[in-house]
Chain A
Amino acid sequence: AQSVTQPDIHITVSEGASLELRCNYSYGATPYLFWYVQSPGQGLQLLLKYFSGDTLVQGIKGFEAEFKRSQSSFNLRKPSVHWSDAAEYFCAVGVYGNKLVFGAGTILRVKS
């Protein structure tokens, strides 16, 4: 069955430090992959998506993600974190029926 694993429940980084959030997926077909961000009490905002082509995708707010088929991974990165990046991040895979299956989320804390 399709699933998404985000191994890190919480991550704390210092402002200005680099960030990598991990995401592994399990899906039999070619995956459509997404990263969303959610601020407390808010809906989800799309950061970036991968459908095909270049495996390194650029998103909004300076984020990027790299699709690695051999590792079934789609890790999210940012070279320099800002305090406003503190939020919860969700990785998702598109599955049959145009649905999305979400990971459990990773809460990012940024310390000054």
Chain B
Amino acid sequence: GAVVSQHPSRVICKSGTSVKIECRSLDFQATTMFWYRQFPKQSLMLMATSNEGSKATYEQGVEKDKFLINHASLTLSTLTVTSAHPEDSSFYICSAQLAGGSYEQYFGPGTRLTVT
């Protein structure tokens, strides 16, 4: 149980375009989902916390207009990287928490974004 999927697993896009990444909890309801960014050989950096039905909370230094997050249902959150630039190339990972709360997070397999 507690499986989280991400789609796509890899995406290459041209500079200036937008790309959407989906995060789904497959067998549980997640009131809260998190989006992380991971640079090569580095740890995970929390970008934002996404709560179903409300606006996402962004961490300091993360541009909310560039990284649009939507959490329209208890099983789906999306991250849209708008006007992508090469420096946005990274590994993006989402996680989900069970409804009813605890700190335990279940992670998706990640999305490798390359902006050319």
Q: Is the CB of B46 within 8 A of A36?
A: no
Is B11 an interface position by the 8 A CB rule?
no
* Contact residues in B for A105 (Cβ distance below 8 Å): 42-43
Q: Which of B14-22, B66-74, B78-86, B97-105 is found at the contact surface with chain A?
A: B97-105
With contact pairs A90-B43, A102-B43 given, residues A97 and B106 touching in the complex (Cβ less than 8 Å): no
State which residues 8-34 of B face A: CB under 8 Å: 32, 34
How many residues of chain A get a CB closer than 8 Å to chain B's CBs? Answer: 21
A99 with B49: CB separation less than 8 A: yes
Chain A nearest CB from B44 CB (Å) reads 5
Instruction: List chain B residues, Cβ under 8 A from A99.
Output: 34, 46, 49
Q: A46 contacts which of B6, B104, B109 (Cβ < 8 Å)?
A: B104
Q: Kindly state the separation between the CA atoms of A44 and B105 in the bound complex, as whole angstroms.
A: 9
